[in-house]
């Protein structure tokens, strides 16, 4: 209980195909799939962003998708954009470093100082959270205590999703189901990382709501972690 007080409430939100994939193939931008979202669902995504204090995606999503992560389709304030990037090596011309919304790049103590300085020069906050890599529980604590982030949404990719779940940092999951199958054994799916070894390690979810948004099914789950 006390752990939760030291971190924001976290929602994982994703567009996902019927076979659980987040994009067409490894290395492909999810913006291609997102073109097939119903207009009503795109609005739902932007409405969700507008009521969250911060939005986080992994550094690889920035490299591949070059996301903006702003609120554009409805009136509303864009959340703080947070990118964990241990060695501060996202491209300096990334859209997320533009002036449309505030951005915080989380790095580790060993990140090269010249890269950190170059990101700072683009106007982003730098959060140092960990020695050799970004430690997500520490990052969550800093976001809550120093940036007043009470509600955080994460929009992938699979590597970040796995690490957040592995550290028991996700409270809710909202999935936008796209009626396609893309296949591919190495195509990124909702959660990457390491496989589990027994059923005891399965992360249990409670389906709390499902509804149509335009032509897309949306499902909402609470994440039920085991104690200990």
Ligand X SMILES: NC(=O)c1ccc[n+]([C@@H]2O[C@H](COP(=O)([O-])OP(=O)(O)OC[C@H]3O[C@@H](n4cnc5c(N)ncnc54)[C@H](OP(=O)(O)O)[C@@H]3O)[C@@H](O)[C@H]2O)c1
**Residue selected from 37, 71, 111, 134 as contacting ligand X according to rule CB under 6 A:** 134
Determine which residue in the list 11, 14, 96, 216 makes contact with ligand X, applying CB under 6 A: 14
How near is the Cβ of 169 to ligand X at its closest, in Å?
10
Q: Tell me which residues in 146-185 interact with ligand X (CB under 6 A).
A: 155-160, 163
Total binding residues toward ligand X, as defined by CB under 6 A: 32
Nearer to ligand X, 1 or 195 (CB): 195
Shortest Å distance, C-beta 52 to ligand X: 15
| Residue 21 or 171 with smaller CB distance to ligand X | 21
- What is residue 219's DSSP assignment? E
Question: Which residues ranging from 187 to 226 are in contact with ligand X (CB under 6 A)?
Answer: 188, 192
Interface stretch with ligand X, choices 38-46, 68-76, 131-139, 219-227 (CB under 6 A): 131-139
- Do the Cβ atoms of 158 and 15 come closer than 8 Å? no
From the list 77, 52, 45, 13, the residue with the least C-alpha distance to 148 is 52
Which residues, including other chains, have CB under 8 Å from residue 25's CB and lie 6 or more apart? 182, 184, 186, 187
Separation of first and last alpha carbons in the chain:
12
How near is the Cβ of 9 to ligand X at its closest, in Å?
Answer: 19
Q: Which of 9, 115, 133, 174 binds ligand X (CB under 6 A)?
A: 133
CA distances to 40, 51, 195 from 158, rounded to whole Å, are 25, 23, 13
Answer whether 198's CB lies under 8 Å from 156's CB.
no
Among 136, 140, 170, 175, binds ligand X (CB under 6 A): 136
For CA atoms 80, 65, 136, 170, the dihedral sign is: positive
Distance CA(45)–CA(15), nearest Å, equals: 10
Contact segment (CB under 6 A) with ligand X among 2-10, 56-64, 120-128, 143-151 equals: 56-64
Beta-carbon contacts of 87 under 8 Å, excluding residues fewer than 6 positions away, are 107, 108, 110, 111, 112, 115
Q: How far apart are CA 48 and CA 188, in angstroms?
A: 23
As measured in angstroms, the least distance from the Cβ of 183 to ligand X is 15
When the beta carbons of 75 and 113 are compared against ligand X, the nearer one is 113
Q: Count other Cβ atoms within 10 Å, centred on residue 63.
A: 14
Give the residue, chosen from 43, 46, 60, 101, that forms a contact with ligand X under the rule CB under 6 A. Answer: 60
Q: Enumerate binding residues for ligand X (CB under 6 A).
A: 14-15, 22-23, 28-30, 33, 57-61, 64-65, 84-87, 89, 133-134, 136, 155-160, 163, 188, 192
């Amino acid at each position: 209980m006390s752990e939760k007080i030291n971190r924001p409430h976290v929602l994982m939100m994703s567009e996902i195909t019927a076979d659980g994939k987040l994009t067409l193939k490894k290395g492909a931008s999810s913006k291609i799939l997102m073109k097939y979202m119903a207009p009503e669902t795109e609005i739902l995504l932007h409405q969700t962003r507008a009521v969250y204090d911060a939005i986080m995606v992994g550094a690889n999503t920035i490299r591949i998708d070059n996301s903006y992560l702003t609120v554009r389709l409805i009136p509303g304030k864009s959340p703080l954009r947070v990118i964990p990037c241990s060695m501060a090596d996202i491209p300096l011309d990334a859209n997320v470093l533009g002036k449309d919304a505030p951005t915080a790049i989380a790095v580790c103590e060993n990140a090269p100082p010249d890269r950190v300085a170059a990101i700072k020069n683009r106007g982003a906050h730098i959060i140092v959270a960990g020695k050799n890599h970004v430690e997500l529980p520490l990052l969550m604590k800093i976001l809550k205590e120093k940036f007043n982030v009470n509600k955080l949404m994460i929009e992938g990719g699979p590597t970040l999703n796995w690490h957040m779940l592995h550290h028991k940092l996700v409270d809710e999951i909202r999935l936008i189901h796209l009626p396609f199958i893309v296949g591919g054994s190495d195509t990124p799916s909702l959660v990457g990382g390491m496989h589990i070894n027994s059923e005891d390690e399965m992360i249990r979810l409670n389906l709390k709501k499902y509804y149509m948004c335009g032509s897309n099914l949306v499902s909402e789950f609470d994440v039920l972690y085991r104690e200990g």
